[in-house]
Amino acid sequence: MARFVMWGTYCTDALEKRAPYRDEHLARLQSLKEQGTLVTLGPTEGSSHVFGIFEADSIDVVRRLVEDDIYWKQGIWTALEVYPWVQAF
């Protein structure tokens, strides 16, 4: 399995707009964590950006996982980039 980093942005007023979807979002992340696919994910201070580390077979798998998230589907995340990651330490 390879590791990938995800970097993205949140919409304006993300903290308010995410409220109806937060439980679904967190439950899905917990499931991905338990499966070993998600290493970590969270917002930057101020919730302007999101950062995550995934373990998967390919970058396409990670992109699909991210695009299937309710935050992406509801426009809470507004831009996302996924990169292969080489962990040096």
Residue pLDDT, tens place only, 30-73: 999 999 999 999 999 999 999 999 999 999 999 999 999 999 99
Q: Three-class SS of residue 23?
A: helix
Alpha-carbon distance of 1 to 46, in angstroms, equals 32
* Mean pLDDT over each residue of the chain, to the nearest integer: 97
Alpha-carbon distance of 54 to 16, in angstroms, equals 26
pTM of the model: 0.93
Question: What value does the mean pLDDT take over residues 19-23?
Answer: 98
pLDDT band at 5 (very low <50, low <70, confident <90, very high): very high
Question: What value does the mean pLDDT take over residues 11-29?
Answer: 97
